Chains A and B, each alone.
Chain A
Amino acid sequence: MGSAYALSRGDIFTPLIRNLGAIFVRGGKPRDVFAQYMAKATGPTRGRDLNVHFGWLSEEGSMPSVISMLGDMVSVLTGALLAERMKKRQTAALTWIGDGGVSTGAFHEGFNLACALKVPLVVIVENNKYAYSTPTYKQTANTRFVDRAKAYGCHGAEVDGNDVLAVYEVTRQALERARRGGGPSLIEADTMRMRGHAEHDDMKYVPASLLEEWSRKDPILRYETKLLERGMATPEELSAITAEVDAALAADVAAAEASPMPDPASGLDGVYGDRPTASPVPPLVADQARRGTS
């Protein structure tokens, strides 16, 4: 979330599935996300896709939708920035990738292209130690991902991924450098995935001691402590914010639950831009003018 706050108006970003917070920072609504997860007609993809797989295009700052194939967004954002460059705009872009996602060919091709063309792209590698069940040392022989910046010929930086203010600052600097023509940055954020790959995953493959160690570095607790220590908030104020957010989320869940499921017939439209619906499946035996027996 800290990194998303570093974006400016008009900047482009694509969150991955672990970057839900960034969507909210950039104007996304929890009720849309709930409706999307619940496969409702009112979700941003009208029940066609799941998870955070949705996007928008706007002058405020576009969010080209992520897809499941990791690494693809790096070249997509590179192309978006080329377009902005042709329009002579100072737009920058930000996306995230995991310690697993950087193993894809798409990531390499995309980031190498971004660096070769020197577009203002910032990529944050969230080193959260596991790609599903695979630890980083089985993902790569060099688990220090920031080293790759040198290989790509771009700026590299490391940050404590559980320090929200440090993440904000390192991203802000990288975006500023990018906008000045300094090219892409690769930022490695050191963090830990505290839950399974998805809800079905009990994460038995992660040593308990590791989770214990990282639970002491919880970024929300750390930020709250910092605010309290500096006298920038009182415990009562923080509790009030939490209660307010809880109530808003509960209302959004209820609204999403009350929303309709999509009409099955609606699933045919929007495949192409110049034809209203895909052809429905034809009747089993099509009407044919009989030629008679011959």
Chain B
Amino acid sequence: MPVLTYLEAIRLALLEEMQKDERVFVIGEDVGAYGGAFRVTAGFLDTFGESRVIDTPISESAIVGAAIGASLMGMRPVAEMQFIDFISCAFDMLVNYAAKTRYRWGAGVPIVVRGPCGGGVHGGPFHSQNPESYFMNVPGLKIVAPATPTDAKGLMTAAIRDPDPVIYLEHKFLYRRIKEDVPDGEIVTPIGQARVARVGRDVSILTYAAMLHVALEAAEAAARDGIDVEVVDLRTLLPLDEEAILRSAAKTGKVIVLHEATRTGGPGGEIAAVVAERAFDYLDAPVVRVAPPDTPVPYSPPLEDAFLPNAQKVGDAIRALVRY
């Protein structure tokens, strides 16, 4: 079992799917000769040639539009947003074309739109965002956000093989910081299935992507105080694994939703509503959101550190719920 970084796992999944299936190709800015801004597709041009590793103008809307058109003709395109912040430039294509096509006239749009999201690297307001909330309100899309190398590989494979448009959010803070043994060969992580990352009985933290690691750190700290925290890695945000959310909520009766997207209108609101509608009687405390304040992601390290959730903020929430 090789030790892979999160980034290497993404790259390997792409590489293996392109080797297995000639319908799979990559398209985006600087994905060819340069190998992608973060080197996710490094070497792909030499391996697969220009027809399957397509460099484009700076045109996110057209990149996604072209991926859609190719998918209608039977291909399995993987479109890169150089930073996921730029997915807003392709919003129309995703929301109006990709998401609604199957419902309207029955044609599937099996595309993957992937790109680096998230903060912690001092990228500032336009290279740090977490755009999942914009797309969670769009029926027809799927959204995945892996937290580990194994899931990064398994969700990429699943996303490429999925019959519908999948937004694949890869957290740039995790790219080279997170490593683990990843089983050889094919891994497919089913879209729509959460995973219990840590079993506990006192408080549930529902989270995903980089915040999973913050949650686990906070859970370890709480354990030293005798508090047994369960951590659920959602992995997919659309469709949400409501059963996994409810199982954990019913088990502990105290729920924290932790995410890096800003607070108002973020995924936490939806998750809290699911818990309130379907597990109200199990709750022993209000559902708590730990999320950044409603500001753009600031650039300067002290500002960004204050903005992002961390283990201490999560610990405060854990203790408040235990005391409730």
Contact = CB atoms under 8 A, between A and B. Distances in A.
A157 B96 CA distance: 32
Contacts of A69: 92, 96-97
B283 to A, nearest CB: 10
Contacts of B103: 48, 270-271
A64 B72 contact: yes
A56, A62, A117 interface centre (most CB from chain B within 10 Å): A117
Interface residues of B, number: 53
Contact of B282 (A54, A85, A113, A288): A288
B107 A55 contact: yes
Decide if the interface of chain A is mainly helix, strand, loop or mixed: loop
A82 B140 contact: no
B163 A75 contact: no
Nearest to B95: A69
Contacts of A274: 162-164
Given A49-B104, A54-B104, A113-B56, A79 B65 contact: yes
B102 A273 contact: yes
B54, B96, B97 interface centre (most CB from chain A within 10 Å): B97
Given A109-B59, A271-B140, A274-B164, A86 B25 contact: yes
A29 to B, nearest CB: 15
B52 interface: yes
Contacts of A249: none
Contacts of B25: 86
B280 A67 contact: no
B46 interface: no
A116 interface: yes
Interface string A40-73: 0000110011000111110000101101110010
Nearest to A54: B105
Interface string A91-116: 00000000000000110011011001
Given A116-B57, A274-B164, A55 B139 contact: no
Contact of B59 (A67, A72, A80, A112): A112
Given A274-B162, A278-B139, A79 B70 contact: yes
A75 B69 contact: yes
Interface stretch (B73-81, B124-132, B167-175, B256-264): B73-81
Contacts of B54: 82, 117
Contacts of B102: 270-273
Contact of A288 (B61, B100, B279): B279
Contacts of A74: 62, 65
A77 B67 CA distance: 10
B163 to A, nearest CB: 3
B107 A57 contact: yes
A55 B69 contact: no
A146 interface: no
Interface string A253-294: 000000000000000001111110010001000101111000
A72 B77 CA distance: 18
Given A78-B66, A79-B70, A72 B164 contact: no
A209 B32 CA distance: 56
A284 B113 CA distance: 35
A22 to B, nearest CB: 17
Contacts of A82: 27, 54, 66, 69-70
Interface string B264-304: 00000000000001111110000000000000000000000
Contacts of A275: 239
B112 to A, nearest CB: 14
Given A77-B69, A79-B68, A83-B73, A65 B105 contact: yes
A147 interface: no
Contact of B72 (A44, A62, A105, A112): A62
A55 B105 contact: yes
25 contacts: A48-B104, A53-B104, A55-B105, A57-B107, A69-B96, A69-B97, A72-B65, A75-B62, A75-B65, A76-B66, A78-B62, A79-B69, A80-B70, A82-B70, A84-B73, A85-B51, A109-B61, A110-B59, A110-B61, A113-B63, A113-B66, A116-B57, A272-B140, A273-B108, A288-B280
Interface of B: 22, 25, 27, 51-52, 54, 56-57, 59-75, 77, 92-93, 96-97, 100-108, 110, 139-140, 142, 162-164, 239, 277-282
